[in-house]
Amino acid sequence: MQLLIKQRVFSWSDTYDVYDQYDEARYFVKAEMFSFGHQIHVYDKRTGREVGSIHQKLLTFLPKFEIVIDGIPVGAICREFSFFKPRYHVDFCNWEVEGDMLGWDYQAYQGEKQVLAVSKELFRWGDTYVLEYSNASDEIPGLLLTIAIDAANCSNK
């Protein structure tokens, strides 16, 4: 299964439209405009219900983001110090994340099994990510992971 995450270029805050492999709108992602740190909300496009959110923790050396699914805090994503490629500690879903030096292509693993793969499409207007996963229950956590890593990479610039 696949999601395409497209950032809106002309927006005052981080805003994304998320489409499935059939090019149907699935989710809408919007960041709060006037907040300290990233406060990002994910809404189901069909119902308008919030399905998840990402809240940046302030006063940390490296970016840290708390993940909330259906109103329940389920863990956090923390960028780890590394020299050659970005690494993230993910303390939910028992996932470990590894990516390339720019953080544009990365995979999440549960043990030795690859759970999802994220790649950034180049030569697009605005950031565009392709999220590939095999288990439907990984869709929302994978989407939140992708948005949080994008926010973490943005926070370090």
DSSP state letters, 81-119: P-SSS-EEEE-STT-EEEE-TTSSEEEEEETTEEEEEEE
Predicted pLDDT at 11: 54
Question: Hey, CA dihedral for 142, 147, 150, 151, is it positive or negative?
Answer: negative
The pTM (predicted TM-score) of the whole model is 0.88
Question: Domain range spanning residue 120?
Answer: 2-155
Predicted pLDDT at 123: 72
Question: What rounded mean pLDDT belongs to the chain?
Answer: 87
Q: Residue 59: exposed, middle, or buried by beta-carbon count in 10 A (0-12, 13-18, 19+)?
A: exposed
Position 12: which residue type? W
Residue 57: which CATH number?
Answer: 2.40.160.200
pLDDT digits (tens, 9 = 90+) for 43-58: 999 999 999 999 999 8
pLDDT digits (tens, 9 = 90+) for 88-109: 788 988 888 888 746 678 899 9
Q: Which of 22-36, 86-100, 105-119 has the lowest mean pLDDT?
A: 86-100
Tally of structural domains, the chain:
1
